[in-house]
Amino acid sequence: MGMETDSPVLVLMRHGQSEDNERDLFSGLRDPALTARGMEEARAAGRALRALGLHFDGAVTSRLQRAQATLALLLGELGHPSLPVQVTAALNERDYGALAGLNKTEARSRFGSEQVRAWRKSYEAVPPGGESLAMAAARVWPFFDACIAPRVRSGESVLVVAHGNSLRALLVHLDRLAPEAIEEVNIGNAGFLIYEANADGRWGRRAGVKMPI
Q: Is 6 annotated as a binding residue?
A: no
Q: Is 82 annotated as a binding residue?
A: no
Q: Is 201 annotated as a binding residue?
A: no
Q: Is 40 annotated as a binding residue?
A: no
Q: Is 165 annotated as a binding residue?
A: yes
Q: Is 96 annotated as a binding residue?
A: yes
183 catalytic residue (yes or no): no
Element (DSSP H or E) covering residue 141: helix 133-143
Contact 189, 213 (CB under 8 A): no
Q: Which residues pair with 161 in a beta bridge?
A: 13, 61
Contact 166, 93 (CB under 8 A): yes
Q: Is 27 annotated as a binding residue?
A: yes
The rounded distance, in Å, linking the Cα atoms of 56 and 83 is 8
Element (DSSP H or E) covering residue 71: helix 65-78
173 catalytic residue (yes or no): no
Catalytic residue among 15, 80, 131, 163: 15
Catalytic residue among 41, 80, 93, 131: 93
In the annotated binding site, the residues are: 14-21, 27-28, 66, 93-96, 104, 164-165
Known binding-site residues for substrate equal 14-21, 27-28, 66, 93-96, 104, 164-165
Q: Which residues are known catalytic residues?
A: 15, 93
